[in-house]
Amino acid sequence: MHPCLEKILLNEDEIVARCKELGQQITQEYKNNEQPPLLVALLKGSVPFLAELIKHIDLDIQFDFMDVSSYEGTESIGDIKIIKDLDCSVKNLDILLVEDIVDTGRTLKTVKAMLKNKGAKTVRVVTLLDKPDRRVVDIEADYTGFEIPNEFVVGFGLDFNQKYRNFPFVGVLKEECYK
Ligand code: IMP
């Protein structure tokens, strides 16, 4: 195991199995919709989750990316900047926002409001991880992979200073490696 890891919280098999369940649930819930959802994934953390999840969604979905930033090191800070906007219009579309983790909830709340302002018909959220103890704004994902305790995690897309995104599992980072 990597020397900066305290423990593995979720292994690859557990994550893949949960993505399969989420994909099947999403397929069921959107299959009678007028149109399949457009998945909007937030860069960069949600990329491995998106890649696994879409294998299990049996609909003619499309996806696009947005990059917003509010995070420095391990502490969430207030304002959200758009670094990369969507390539396509979301007007009258059913959007499924794909997140790696909902922490304070600020990113989600802001991006959801942005997509509504751009004319999205509906905006639902799927997140791999949720840290409910850290929430400061009142918002929940519609589909959650795993609720986790208030610990700083890396892997399966999640980073510390842009590192460790490539771990095929989610692990807890040792405090001494980020404090
Ligand atoms: P929020 O706006 O506070 O909900 O923050 C969401 C973003 O913070 C996520 O998309 C992650 O990029 C980052 N984040 C929150 N908790 C962690 C963590 O434990 N490890 C890595 N990144 C995290």
Q: What is the pLDDT of residue 83?
A: 92
For the stretch 33-57, pLDDT in tens is 999 999 999 999 999 999 999 999 9
Distance from the alpha carbon of residue 141 to the mean position of ligand 1, in angstroms: 14
Protein residue with least CA distance to atom 9, ligand 1: 101
The pTM score is 0.94
pLDDT for 74 equals: 47
From the CA of 103, give the closest atom in ligand 1.
4
Kindly provide the residue ranges of all beta strands, DSSP E only, lying in the chain, ordered along the sequence.
5-10, 38-42, 62-72, 75-84, 94-102, 122-130, 143-147, 153-154, 170-173
| Best residue among 101, 112, 160, 164 to mutate for probing ligand 1, ranked by most atoms within 8 Å of CB | 101
Question: Of the candidates 69, 89, 88, which has an alpha carbon nearest to the alpha carbon of residue 79?
Answer: 69
Amino acid at 152: F
The reported pLDDT for the residue numbered 69 is 84
Q: Does domain 18-150 have CATH number 3.60.15.10?
A: no
For residues 124 and 105, the answer to whether their CB atoms sit within 8 Å is: no
Residue 3 has pLDDT above 70, yes or no: yes
Highest mean pLDDT among 44-48, 65-69, 73-77, 174-178: 44-48
Residue with more model confidence, 165 or 79: 165
Averaged pLDDT, 63-92? 80
Using alpha carbons, select from 134, 137, 149, 76 the residue that is nearest to residue 108: 137
The 10 Å Cβ neighbour count of residue 138 is: 7
- Residue 110's Cβ-count burial label (10 Å; 0-12, 13-18, 19+) is middle
pLDDT for the residue numbered 24:
98
Kindly list the distances between the CA atom of residue 8 and the CA atoms of 38, 104, 145, 151, in Å, as whole numbers in the listed order: 32, 23, 16, 12
**Residue with the larger pLDDT of the pair 81 and 163:** 163
Q: Which two tokens stand for residue 98?
A: 């794909």
User: Candidates 72, 76, 136, 137: which one to mutate for ligand 1, based on the most atoms within 8 Å of Cβ?
Assistant: 76
pLDDT at 148: 98
Res 150: pLDDT: 94
Ligand 1, atom 15, residue with closest C-alpha = 103
Answer whether 110 contacts ligand 1 (Cβ < 6 A). Answer: no
Q: Is the pLDDT of residue 78 over 70?
A: no
Nearest to residue 110, comparing CAs of 31, 99, 27? 99
CA–CA dist 109, 9 (Å, integer): 27
Q: Which of ligand 1's atoms lies nearest the C-alpha of 136?
A: 3
pLDDT tens-digit map of 103-122? 999 999 999 999 999 999 99
Across residues 8-13, what is the average pLDDT?
A: 98
Residue ranges per structural domain of the chain: 18-150
Annotated active-site residue 103? The verdict is: yes
